[in-house]
Structure 1
Amino acid sequence: MSEPKATHRNNDLLNGPIYDTLKRMTLPMIVGMIMLMTFGLVDTFFVSMLGTDELAAISFTFPVTFTIISLNIGLGIGTSATIGRSLGSGETHLAKEFATGALMLSFILVGALAFIGYLTIEPVFRAMGATEELLPYIKDYMYLWYAAAIFLAVPMVGNSVLRAAGDTKTPSIIMASGGLINVILDPIFIFGWGPIPAMGIQGAALATAIAWGVGLVYIIYLLAIKRKLMLPRLLTFSELKLTSGGVLRIGLPAAGANMLTPIAGGVITAIVAGYGPEAVAAWGVGSRLESIASILVLALSMSLPPFISQNYGANKTSRVRSSYILSLKFVLIIQFAIYLILCLVAPYIAALFAEEQKVADLIVLFLYIVPLGYGLQGVVILTNSSFNAMHQPMSALILSIIRLFVFFVPLAYLGSEWLNIKGMFFGIILANLCIAVVAYAWFSQSLNKHSQPIQITKET
């Protein structure tokens, strides 16, 4: 039942109007991510009601938790690429094996990484600058979060299976539903309700774990029984080894590129920690707001790759180039408009999330400066996604390394040395500008290199 639908969508990707096709694919992702990110912001709001220490503690966890989430993202990229190719060539049984193998692989790898994280909570967070006063809160949250990490792995990779089959609407519904469950349970577990005791910051982790658990059960039912996009059994070791190779060839570099972001974020958090827990709390709020403000970029980074991959495989490089440039222009314009809006509402946002005036002032400072670079950051994110779609994951990985450790961390550090935390914020903008120029030039050169006259003749 699902194969004809996927085929029809593939034809749309190859022949349909570029703008209309990207809009059709991206809008469901935007809606789902708006819901999910908004719920994540509400989660931060509930924790902020516990106090500055609790807010600072959960802010410390963002780089660490995003490391595991980044592994899932990378595995999802590899999964989507391999399954999309199999479905496109009519090898539906092989696509089901890849889907099953990818889900098993994510469960194993994320479980192993979470176990290592569980054993190293204290040294990792001390290295990031967490104080003795914050460590108990961090432990309360991370012990439960690590235990639930495998509940997140399966739904995230499962959503990639659905997208590879041409369905962007269902993954959005799954993301939004998980976020809604989390928001409903947050105040119950954090502050207590009836017979349920108040668990504080640990309650936020429990609400997240339950939301992910529901998503895991539903995605397995959907893929194995309703859509039949995976095998209704576990793979043998030889089958798992075979399918894992295809997923990991693209997935590991993609995961590595994504995992570099929280590593760099951890370094920046350590720099921010030198300005006190108020600065860390403000940085945490700003980081969550960045996710909300960059929803369009993140949605396009999931809808643009299937379009580029299909057209690149069909030698329609002119459509690849047009879709890439159109996406970049759109992102730069929209993100600048979002920056202006954030400048207007910055004092109100700060008042909503901060109980202490110093925290509020730092949130306002963040919003006046850092979001100016979100459009430039979007150029890099979309370029990375496009490289992966063209089966050049190492280019995306190298670009991420240059972005984070040649520009982002050094310029942020130098800015903090010259002008304190304000200088760090300006350093981040300068870093985004430099790497955006590099990303655009590199991708354009790569596309020109692979555009040959014979390919253009075939396209026409």
Structure 2
Amino acid sequence: MSAVSQSSPGSDILNGSIALTLRRMTVPMIFGMITLMSFNLIDTFFISLLGTEPLAAVSFTFPVTFTVISLAIGLGIGTSAVIAKALGANNMDEAKFDGFVALLVSAVMVAVLSLIGYVLIEPIFTLLGASPQTMPYIYDYISIWFAGAVFLIMPMIGNSILRASGDTKTPSLIMGLGGLINAILDPLLIFGYGPFPELGVKGAAIASVIAWSVGVVFILYLLAVKKRLLQFSSPQQSIFQATSKILKIGLPAAGANMLTPIAMAVMTAIIATYGAEAVAAFGVGSRIESIASLVVLALSMTLPPFVSQNFGAQKYQRVEDAYRTTLKFVMAWQFAIYILLIAASHWISQAFGDEPQVIDIIKLFIYTLPL
């Protein structure tokens, strides 16, 4: 029996109600994205307890880490689109091989990018405006983050493979497990409770890498053993052909996603001229912005497999209807989120800031967020 049968979630993608199917696919992804975003938010909260300089240091790293994550998101979009199209055309062998190639290519690309980033840590963050007082904290955090970045990307691409088959619940559970592990380990490794050493910002990075590593074990087991969605060779295409298909969609998507961290890097360099307090507040605000946009991000990750499977099955009207339905929902949802953020701005700023200047800037960021 194939991994994706007509009684599977994939049949709803091709024949079920568009709104209900998108909701069924997206809701689990929302909870999964909450936990994925929580890695940075939880790190930010506990590091904020160490003081303004450590918080500013981690805030400096956000444009850099988000650039790597944006590459992974783009490659994930390419992966899910290519695999979903193959599944829609009932070509299971091609879909399985595409999944294997996606994992391999993504791991290599992120490893190379992380190595370049590690070598250029000092010039990158000097260019962003980091002060000599902040640089040691930056190095402690980002060097470990770069070393473990492949373990973050592998589950992200693996989850894209699962989503392509219509399974959004399993990816959300994997991301949820990672978020839980990170939340537990963060205070233990940052502050050194019990037998754990006090590692400061290093502890936050190590906690994240451990959580990502657990995710790698689970996703590879699910894909290779339980669901059998990977195939290491294909009589229909070479590894270069599969890579080309994925990158043809994934690289433009990654490029579009990278515009945000690039803009953030420019903003961080400008804001750094106003001091560590401004950078710390901007870092908190950027993470809040990510959380506020998570429903849209979840939709951007569930819509491609829906569109691709229907496109592969030549159901073009469903593709157009899905786009219109999604656009209407996103506009209404983001307006509601802005109202909620304004109402909670005082509580949010107090939770992440212990200096009046930091608190005031966080509030200002929230008020101007939709602009």
Structure 1 length normalisation: TM-score? 0.77
Q: Would the aligned equivalents of 1:40 and 1:179 in 2 still touch at CA under 8 Å?
A: no
Q: CA deviation at 1:43?
A: 2.0
Task: Give secondary structure in 1 for the equivalent of 2:358.
Answer: helix
Unmatched runs of 5 consecutive residues or more in structure 2: none
2:156 matches 1:151:
no
2:18 alignment partner in structure 1? 18
**Which moved further from structure 2: 5-14 or 61-70?**
5-14
Provide the C-alpha distance between the structure 2 equivalents of 1:197 and 1:36, rounded to a whole number of angstroms. Answer: 25
| Higher mean C-alpha deviation, range 327-336 or range 316-325 | 316-325
Task: Give aligned pairs, total.
Answer: 370
Which residue number in structure 2 is paired with residue 9 of structure 1? 9
1:311 aligns with 2:295: no
Q: Does 1:201 align with 2:189?
A: no
Q: How does 1:372-383 map to 2 (within 5 A)?
A: 373=370
Amino acid at match of 1:88: G
Matched residue type, 2:288: L
* In 2, Cα distance between equivalents of 1:208 and 1:38: 10
- Measure the CA separation in 1 of the matches of 2:6 and 2:72: 24
Kept in 1, the 8 Å contact 2:3–2:229? The answer is no
Equivalent position of 1:259 in the other structure: 258
Q: How does 1:104-183 map to 2 (within 5 A)?
A: 104-183=104-183
**What's the secondary structure of 1:194's corresponding residue?**
coil
Opposite residue 124 of structure 2, the aligned amino acid is V
Residue-by-residue CA offset, 1:267-326 (whole Å, 9 max, x unaligned): 111122122211111111111111211121111111222222333444544433332222
**1:2–1:227 contact (8 Å) kept in structure 2:** no
2:91 counterpart residue number: 91
Matches within 5 A, 1:238-253: 239-253=238-252
**Which 10-residue stretch deviates more, 263-272 or 37-46?**
37-46
Residue 436 of structure 1: aligned partner: none
Q: Which has the higher helix share?
A: 1
| Aligned-residue offset at 1:193 | 2.2
Identical pairs, percent = 57
For 2:187, give the aligned amino acid.
P
5 Å matches for 1:345-384? 345-370=344-369, 373=370
Q: Show the counterpart of 2:49.
A: 49
Which residue of 1 is the match for residue 291 of structure 2?
Answer: 292
Cα distance change on mapping 1:36 and 1:252 into 2, 3 Å: closer
Moved more, 176-185 or 5-14: 5-14
Q: Give a deviation string over 1:151-171, Cα, whole Å, max 9, x none.
A: 112111111110111111101
> What code does the residue aligned with 2:354 have?
E
Corresponding position of 1:392 = none
What does residue 68 of structure 2 align with?
A: 68
Q: Which amino acid aligns with 2:140?
A: D
Letter in 1 for 2:318: R
Given the superposition, is the C-alpha separation of residues 80 and 7 from structure 1 closer, same or farther in structure 2, using an over 3 Å criterion? farther
Paired residue for 1:82? 82
Preserved CA contact (<8 Å) 2:78 2:249: yes
The secondary structure found in structure 2 opposite 1:230 is coil
Superposition deviation, residue 3 in structure 1: 3.2
30-39 or 164-173, which moves further after superposition?
A: 30-39
- From the superposition, tell whether residues 130 and 6 of structure 1 become closer, same or farther in structure 2 (CA, over 3 Å): farther
Matching residue of 1:422: none
After superposition, give the CA deviation of every residue in 1:179-234 in whole Å (9 maximum; x if it has no partner). Answer: 11111100111001233210000100000010111111111111111111013x58
Contact conserved, 2:88 with 2:308, CA < 8 A, in 1? no
Matches of 1:308 and 1:205, distance apart in 2: 36
Once the two structures are superposed, residues 304-357 of structure 1 have per-residue CA deviations (whole angstroms, 9 ceiling, x without a partner) of 222223334445444333322222222222221221121111111111110100
Larger radius of gyration: 1
Q: In 2, Cα distance between the equivalents of 1:268 and 1:7?
A: 49
Deviations 1:95-154 (A, max 9, x none): 221111111111111111100000000000111111111111000001111100111121
CA contact (8 A) 2:44 2:55 kept: yes
The answer to whether the Cα contact below 8 Å between 1:78 and 1:251 also exists between their aligned partners in 2 is yes
Please say which of residues 199-208 and 185-194 is displaced more in the overlay.
185-194
Contact 1:278 1:358 in 2 (8 A): yes
d(CA) in 1 for partners of 2:3 and 2:89?
Answer: 11
Inter-CA distance 4–133: structure 2 relative to 1 (3 Å threshold): closer
Q: Tell me, in whole angstroms, the C-alpha distance in 2 between the residues paired with 1:305 and 1:207.
A: 32
Q: What secondary structure sits across from 1:3 in the alignment?
A: coil
Contact 1:73 1:156 in 2 (8 A): yes
Query: How has the CA–CA distance of structure 1 residues 52 and 6 changed in structure 2, closer, same or farther, with 3 Å as cutoff?
Result: farther
Over the aligned positions, Cα root-mean-square deviation in angstroms equals: 2.0
Question: CA 1:40 to 1:5, structure 2 compared with 1: closer, same or farther past 3 Å?
Answer: farther
Q: Distance in 2 between matches of 1:6 and 1:315?
A: 17
Matched with 1:189 is 189
For the Cα contact (< 8 Å) 2:280–2:358, is it kept in 1? yes
Matched, 1:274 2:293: no
CA contact (8 A) 2:3 2:227 kept: no
Secondary structure, counterpart of 2:3 in structure 1:
helix
Q: Which sections of structure 1, spanning at least 5 residues, go unmatched?
A: 374-428, 430-460
Aligned pair in 2 of structure 1 residues 21, 242: CA closer, same or farther (>3 Å)? same
**Aligned partner letter, 2:110:** V
Structure 1 residues 95 and 25: alpha-carbon distance in aligned structure 2, compared to 1, 3 A threshold: same
